[in-house]
Amino acid sequence: MNSPGHAVPPSGVLGGGALKADDYASFLAREYLAEYLPAGGAAVKVAVVGDDGAADRLESALATVTAEHNGLFAHVSAESTRMHMVDQIFFAISRVIDWEALAAASVRAAYADAAFPVPAGAGLTVAETAQHHDVDARELYRSVRRLLERSLLDNPLIATEMGRAILRLAQTRLGAGDVDAAEHAAVLSWLHGELRSISTLRSALIYTRIGRHNARAMLTSAAALLLAAGHRGLVVCFDWGRLAEARRPPVEARSGFYYSKAAVLDAYEMLRQFIDATDELRGVLVVAVVPPELMTDEARGLPAYTALQLRVADEVRDRRRANPFAALVRLEVRLEAVA
């Protein structure tokens, strides 16, 4: 029995106004993955977690609910990815994306727009589809190619070079011989950040590598392509635990990347840019998982980068109740510990 004068915390809320990791993931699924992301909405959250166990539970729960809602989940760790470089973040997400499936979805949509839908279980080549509908294969190819160019190259949500890349992958699916195996492999390497020579993509009219200058546009394009292919959103979980390590361990004990103060501030700036670009993103939910010490450390924590802190800090908060809609949430850690 509760003693008089003590309020009962709402379900899923711990003492100090902190949420449970599993309950927060369920909340995000209900309020964001169910309708908001599929409708083209975007959001950025900062989740302060009490320990590594809570961080692991949050990641696992997010991956589960994302799969249940037919979304795509990407976990990006500061230990294995240079978190202060947006192009490296894009490549980490890109390796999770099935680019072949996105290209195939574009081809199916083009066939449907041409009024010659692909039968269930059938191949996507022009020859097969033309035979099924008893039409001329060359005429069908011209129509589908034109529709692909319109959807991929004239779409304001898709960066020009991303559109060209997916177009070449889609042309491979058509089986007309326009794209050889070497160019097809080069497009995928370009998307993964592994291409050795950009000159191999001249035939695709791609002349620039994906770098810090255009990676954000590429990520926006990828999110739009995922929605068009039937995914209900992209959920990206940033694991920022490594940013809190100010000193590198001995050489024999090191693993992955470590960050100088300047690199940590660059990571904060990167997230600040994501927050300010939510109107441009479509169907993306970013959750940055942060250890408590980064909320109080004056040298390496959020207090060292006011531009980000002001965007996520609580202006008004209830110390007894958690607000899961807030940009900054506390998971399994007492509020006072990170206030």
* pTM check: above 0.85: yes
pLDDT in tens, 125-144: 999 999 999 999 999 999 99
Cα angle 19, 20, 24; round to 5? 75
Q: Is the pLDDT of residue 124 over 70?
A: yes
Provide the angle, in degrees to the nearest 10, between the axes of the packed helices 215-228 and 86-94: 30
Report the run of H or E that residue 220 belongs to, with start and end. helix 215-228
pLDDT in tens, 272-309: 999 999 999 999 999 999 999 999 999 999 999 999 99
Helix (H, G, I), strand (E, B), or coil: what is residue 328? strand
Q: State how far the Cα of 196 lies from the Cα of 201, in Å rounded to an integer.
A: 11
- Position 147 scores a pLDDT of 97
Residue 48's φ and ψ, nearest 5 degrees, are -90, 120
pLDDT in tens, 193-231: 999 999 999 999 999 999 999 999 999 999 999 999 999
Q: Please give the average per-residue pLDDT across 69-76, as a whole number.
A: 98
In one-letter notation, the amino acid at residue 125 is T
Q: Is the pLDDT of residue 10 over 90?
A: no
- The answer to whether 216 and 278 are in contact (CB under 8 A) is no
- Position 8 scores a pLDDT of 35
- Domains and their CATH numbers in the chain: 13-85+232-338 (3.40.50), 99-204 (no CATH)
Listing DSSP states for 278-297 in one string gives TTT--SEEEEEEE-GGGGT-
DSSP β-ladder status, 13-14 and 284-290: unpaired
- Position 120 scores a pLDDT of 86
What is the average pLDDT value for the chain, to the nearest integer?
91
